[in-house]
Every structure is written in structure tokens, then in C-alpha cells.
């Protein structure tokens, strides 16, 4: 990822220029997000973390187009103080965009202790029921948090269910589980919702299981070729 995108990053830079159009700003945000979260580029991670901390301290406003990429990258490599700062900022701000940016960034952390802290917030009064499914979906999109998120939902279902079976939350939650790519998780999801059916999300469950099956098949068929290609670069 770094070898592919670093030249483009060097061209567009980390900060917006005065003459940048919407397309260039969107391109920069995509490059920063990919280099930061997947490429683990040290420079992008460092600059994103510093920018996020300045924004949380109120000393700098983030470029709206780049803000999600910066905050998400910072959270992916963040520590407990950053977690606390994001959680506090989500509660403090009266700007809806900032609220959800900081709130959903809690699902990007990779430290197991912080993942568990983030998941626990789903069952607190500070998280509105209509936001719960989308909030939990952030953890399922995070490879480091995915298994813990599934265990949390399964173990705490009696408390989770009332918060996700409104406003299409059940569909959102089940759809988020399509990010798994292993037989064990696929079978666990199927068994769990057979025992705890969500009628409104029945079709979505079928689609989720199909996506997982497709991912497993693709991984099985393409892993060797992909590994060889990467080793030859």
C-alpha cells in the first residue's frame, strides 16, 4: 500500500491547498485513510495523531473533507488518553458531524482493552438506541475488534436486542457481520440468529452469510497466487 500510494501522497500532501478543488480534497482524504490505516505509514499516522489531538484540544479545526480520515487513523493507533478525549468530545460537541465522527472513531481502536471499553458504551444511556447498530458496525469493520464485537453481541444479546431492533438497526447490525471471512464465525452467526431470529433482517442474514461464503471461497482460491505476487514484488 505504501509503495502504491506514497508517490500520490507526496503529490497531494497532507494539508489542503488554497486552490484545491473538491476532487483533489476527496483524493487526499482517501490516500491519507488508506496509507494510515492499511499502509501504516509512520508519517501519516504521526501527522494524523497530532492533528486529531490539536482538534480535540480546540487549537485547530480539521478540514471537513479530511477530518474522518485523520480521526480514524489516529484512533487506529491510539492509546487510552486519546480514547478518553474522543469519548468526551463526542459528548461535549453540539455539532452532529463532530459528534458522530468522534463517537464512531471509538470503534477503530486496536488495543483489546480499549475495544472492550468501546463496546461497553453501546449499552450505556449515553448512546441513543437509534445509534447503537451503526455504532457496533464500526467494530465489525475493524479487523482487530471483529471477534470481540461478535462475542459481545452474543454474550450481551438480552441487553443489545432492544437497542438494535428499532429504526432498521437489526438489518444494519446483521449486515455489518458480513465483514467476517472464516467458517467458524460464519457458522456461529448462523446458529445464533437461528436461535434468536430477527424476522425483519432475515433476508439480510442470508446475504451476509452469502458474502462470508464468497469471501472464504475467494481466500481459498486466491491466497496462494496473491502471496506469490506479493513475494515477487
CATH number at residue 117: 1.25.50.20
Coil vs helix vs strand at 114: helix
Residue 28 lies in a domain: no
Residue 12 lies in a domain: no
Residue 46 lies in a domain: no
Domain that holds residue 120: 112-233
Residue 8 lies in a domain: no
Residue 33 lies in a domain: no
Predicted local confidence at residue 191, as pLDDT: 98
Q: Give the number of C-alpha atoms closer than 13 A to the C-alpha of residue 199, restricted to the C-beta side.
A: 0
Q: Structural domain tally of the chain?
A: 1
Predicted local confidence at residue 198, as pLDDT: 96
What is the rounded distance in angstroms from the CA atom of residue 38 to the CA atom of residue 6?
12
pLDDT in tens, the chain (233 residues): 898 999 999 999 998 887 889 999 999 999 999 999 999 999 999 999 999 999 999 998 999 999 999 999 999 999 999 999 999 999 999 999 999 999 999 999 999 999 999 999 999 998 999 999 999 999 999 999 999 999 999 999 999 999 999 989 999 999 999 999 999 999 999 999 999 999 999 999 999 999 999 999 998 887 778 888 878 87
C-alpha cell at 9: 501522497
Predicted local confidence at residue 109, as pLDDT: 97
What is the rounded distance in angstroms from the CA atom of residue 43 to the CA atom of residue 54?
17
Neighbours of 75 (CB within 10 A): 27
Predicted local confidence at residue 118, as pLDDT: 98
Residue 36 lies in a domain: no
- Is residue 164 within 8 A of residue 198, CB to CB? The reply is no
Residues with Cβ < 8 Å from 144, sequence gap 6 or more?
109, 110, 115
What is the rounded distance in angstroms from the CA atom of residue 128 to the CA atom of residue 159?
13
Residue 70 lies in a domain: no
Residues with Cβ < 8 Å from 34, sequence gap 6 or more?
1, 5
Amino acid at each position: 500500500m505504501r509503495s502504491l500510494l506514497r508517490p500520490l501522497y507526496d503529490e497531494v500532501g497532507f494539508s489542503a491547498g488554497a486552490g484545491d478543488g473538491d476532487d483533489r480534497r476527496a483524493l487526499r482524504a482517501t490516500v491519507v485513510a488508506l496509507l494510515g490505516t492499511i499502509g501504516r505509514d509512520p508519517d501519516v499516522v504521526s501527522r494524523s495523531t497530532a492533528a486529531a489531538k490539536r482538534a480535540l484540544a480546540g487549537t485547530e479545526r480539521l478540514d471537513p473533507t479530511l477530518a474522518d480520515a485523520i480521526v480514524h487513523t489516529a484512533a487506529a493507533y491510539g492509546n487510552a488518553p486519546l480514547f478518553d478525549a474522543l469519548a468526551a468530545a463526542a459528548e461535549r460537541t453540539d455539532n452532529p458531524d463532530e459528534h458522530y465522527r468522534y463517537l464512531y472513531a471509538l470503534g477503530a481502536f486496536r488495543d483489546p482493552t480499549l475495544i472492550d471499553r468501546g463496546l461497553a458504551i453501546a449499552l450505556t444511556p449515553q448512546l441513543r438506541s437509534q445509534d447503537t447498530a451503526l455504532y457496533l458496525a464500526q467494530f465489525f469493520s475493524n479487523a482487530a475488534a471483529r471477534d470481540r464485537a461478535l462475542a459481545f453481541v452474543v454474550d450481551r444479546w438480552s441487553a443489545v436486542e432492544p437497542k438494535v431492533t428499532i429504526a432498521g438497526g437489526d438489518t444494519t447490525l446483521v449486515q455489518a457481520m458480513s465483514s467476517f471471512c472464516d467458517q467458524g464465525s460464519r457458522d456461529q452467526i448462523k446458529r445464533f440468529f437461528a436461535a434468536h431470529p430477527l424476522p425483519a433482517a432475515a433476508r439480510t442474514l442470508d446475504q451476509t452469510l452469502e458474502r462470508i461464503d464468497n469471501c472464504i471461497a475467494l481466500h481459498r482460491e486466491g491466497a496462494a497466487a496473491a502471496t506469490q505476487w506479493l513475494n515477487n514484488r
